[in-house]
Amino acid sequence: MDGFSVSPEKILFLPVLLFSIICHEIGHAYAAFKGGDDTARLQGRISLNPLVHIDPVGTIIMPALQIFGGVPLLGWARPVPVNPARLRGRRWDLAVSLAGVSVNLALALTALLVYRVLLAFGWMPVTARPDPSTLLGIISLLLRSFIMLNVVLAFFNMLPIPPLDGSHVLLHFIKSRDSAAFRLFELLERYGFVILLLLVVTGLLGYVVGPLLGAVFLVLGYVFQIPLELLFVYF
């Protein structure tokens, strides 16, 4: 990625990012509704309408800075409101926390299956850099964007740093509010957003989750018999 250049790949990546983070929040909202809390549903959050999910920083400012600034594309939508007191037990609280990540993984696996089928029929360009000026090139880039982005979003959201989903999962297993673990959680909660911004902007995020993501993509490539270089979008 070179400075402030805007490539066709980045432009195609943006609608995939928006759709994926919206589906992530719909997953939370729907799980909360099924668990007994209709707060998000009453606010219209079980909807693909982007206007009800937009977060000024995560949905507009961060992607805009990233697409022009030469750092990895990542973003988030407005968090879904959940009232744990209305959920039918602690298991639903955990289910709500994991719902968004589950949706991202489902999107990635669906795109993988479609991409594998299209490759098998010879309908996808077998190249690391498809031509974005052709229809097949665009389809290839979109499918690979869905795969790459949703896997990254799933692992990013499972980091145990508030307000990410992983922190809510971690809190679920902290039984005592007097424990050292809970005090550490409170400290992370206080500075979590700053930590996340630093991880993304400085590129340290790649060092935190990069090796694990690399292993995951190796496994996906082996299982679906797709060359590793065809699972990524190169900007």
Helices and strands (DSSP H and E) totals, the chain? 8, 0
Known active-site residue 25: yes
Computed on alpha carbons and rounded to an integer, the radius of gyration of the chain in Å comes to 19
* Range 107-111 contact pairs with CB under 8 angstroms and sequence separation of 24 or more: 107/20, 107/23, 107/146, 107/150, 108/146, 108/147, 108/150, 108/151, 108/154, 110/146, 111/143, 111/144, 111/146, 111/147, 111/150
Task: Please state, in angstroms and rounded to a whole number, the distance separating the CA atoms of residues 115 and 221.
Answer: 12
Give the Å distances, CA to CA, from 111 to 107, 116, 138, 220: 6, 8, 14, 12
User: Looking at 25, 186, 189, 229, which residue is catalytic?
Assistant: 25
Give the Å distances, CA to CA, from 10 to 52, 71, 87, 168, 229: 24, 11, 40, 31, 17
Active site residues: 25
